[in-house]
Amino acid sequence: MALENKLGITDSTELAKAEERISKTKALEMFQQGLLDTFEVGTFRGLSQIHKYLFDEIYDFAGQVRTVNIAKGGFRFAPVLYLTPALENISRMPQSTFDEIIAKYVEMNVAHPFREGNGRSTRLWLDAILKKELCQAVDWSKNARVFCSRVQKGFSVTDRFVIQSLVRFSTKKGGKHYGSKQGHVG
């Protein structure tokens, strides 16, 4: 059984396909139209703006904090009871260094604030923070599954090198285009 949705889809496999197609199209629009640059960077509000844009055609709850407890693969995400204060704390976390940004991303992933679509939204949120603060972005085409798996288990010093290998430099701070040059993240 599929989550209740605006598309009237009742099969979960069909809904997953529609989600992927629509959210990828919306993500591309965000980059092409520069919309990601208009959202708050590094706050739950900004993440909520991203989620709403990606999933508003699919779910009534797009951009809204979930109201149910959720788990995935035996891992329980932040309980609803503590979710709002957790999101406020995450929004206030520093984000001026690579390690601070990754720690913030890990905390947001553990919070998992939405009923569905957390991974897609938080990856764009992470890219926006890296772009603004360090002129970098994650190359999601390289080892993205390894990255996401490590982040879900919790960030550690050894994971930093896996994550670091996925980061690429932007052409300029605050620029809209990312370069492809690989470099060391300090």
pLDDT reported for residue 168: 61
Distances (CA, A) of 92 to 96, 100, 153: 12, 11, 22
* Domains delineated in the chain: 12-182 (1.10.3290.10)
pLDDT in tens for each of the 186 residues of the chain? 999 999 999 999 999 999 999 999 999 999 999 999 999 999 999 999 999 999 999 999 999 999 999 998 888 999 999 999 999 999 999 999 988 998 899 899 999 999 999 999 999 999 999 999 998 877 777 666 666 666 566 555 445 566 666 666 544 444 443 333 333 333
Alpha helices in 112-171 (DSSP H): 118-134, 144-153, 157-164
pLDDT reported for residue 124: 94
Rounded CA separation 165/161 (Å): 6
pLDDT reported for residue 180: 34
Rounded CA separation 135/173 (Å): 5
pLDDT reported for residue 143: 61
pLDDT reported for residue 73: 84
pLDDT reported for residue 154: 56
Rounded CA separation 31/27 (Å): 7
